A and B are shown apart, each in its own frame.
Chain A
Amino acid sequence: MVITVLSGKGGTGKTTVSTNLALSIDNAQLLDADVEEPDSYIFIKPDFTEEYEDVNRLIPVINNDKCTSCRKCIDFCQYNALAIMLDNVLVYPEICHSCGGCARICPEGAISEQEKTIGSIKWDHADNILEFWQGELNIGEESSIPVIEQLKKHIDPNKNVIIDAQPGTTCPTIEAAIDSDFCILVTEPTPFGLNDLQMAVEVVRDIKKPFAVIINRSEEGYDDIIEKYCKKEGIKILMKIPFMRKIAQLYSTGIPFIEEMTSWKEQFVIMYKGIEEELS
Chain B
Amino acid sequence: MKIIVTAKNNSGIESELDPRFGRANYFVIVDTESMDVNFIDNSAAEASSGAGVGAAQLVADQKVEVVISGNFGPKAFNGLNAANIRLYASNSGTLAEVVEEYNKGNLKQLSNATNSGHVGIR
The binding surface of chain B is classed by DSSP as: helix
Tell me if B51 and A86 are in contact (CB < 8 A).
no
Partner of B57, one of A84, A95, A142: A84
Across the interface, do B56 and A83 meet the contact criterion of CB distance under 8 Å?
yes
List the B side residues contacting A80 at CB < 8 Å: 44, 47, 49-51, 53-54, 57
Looking at the complex, which of B25-33, B34-42, B77-85 is the stretch in contact with chain A? B77-85
With a cutoff of 8 Å between Cβ atoms, the chain B residues found around residue A88 in the complex are 82
Q: Which residues of the partner chain A approach B47 to less than 8 Å between Cβ atoms?
A: 79-80
For the complex, would chain A's binding face be called helix, strand, loop or mixed by DSSP majority? mixed
Set of chain B residues within 8 Å of A81, measured between Cβ atoms: 50, 53
Does residue A92 face the partner (Cβ distance < 8 Å to B)? Answer: yes
Contacts of B67-85 to chain A: CB distance below 8 A: 75, 78-80, 82-84
Cβ distance B86 to chain A, nearest Cβ, rounded Å: 14
Contact size range, A:
10 to 19
Chain A residues near B54 (CB-CB < 8 A): 80, 83
Does A74 have its Cβ within 8 Å of any Cβ on chain B?
Answer: yes
Measured CB to CB, the closest approach of chain A to B120, in angstroms, equals 9
- Return the chain A residue nearest B61 by Cβ: A84
Nearest residue, chain A, Cβ from B75: A92
CA distance A115 to B75 in the complex (A): 21
A74 surroundings in chain B (CB, below 8 A): 57
Which residues 214-266 of A have a CB within 8 angstroms of B?
Answer: none
Q: Give 1 or 0 for each of A56-88: 1 = CB within 8 Å of chain B CB.
A: 000000000000000000100001111111101
Q: For the complex, what is the distance from the CA of A39 to the CA of B49, rounded to whole Å? A: 27
* Interface pairs (16), CB distance under 8 Å: A79-B50, A80-B44, A80-B50, A80-B54, A80-B57, A83-B57, A83-B60, A85-B56, A85-B60, A86-B82, A86-B84, A88-B82, A90-B79, A95-B49, A95-B50, A95-B75
User: Chain B residues in contact with chain A, CB under 8 A?
Assistant: 44, 47, 49-51, 53-54, 56-57, 60, 75, 78-80, 82-84, 119
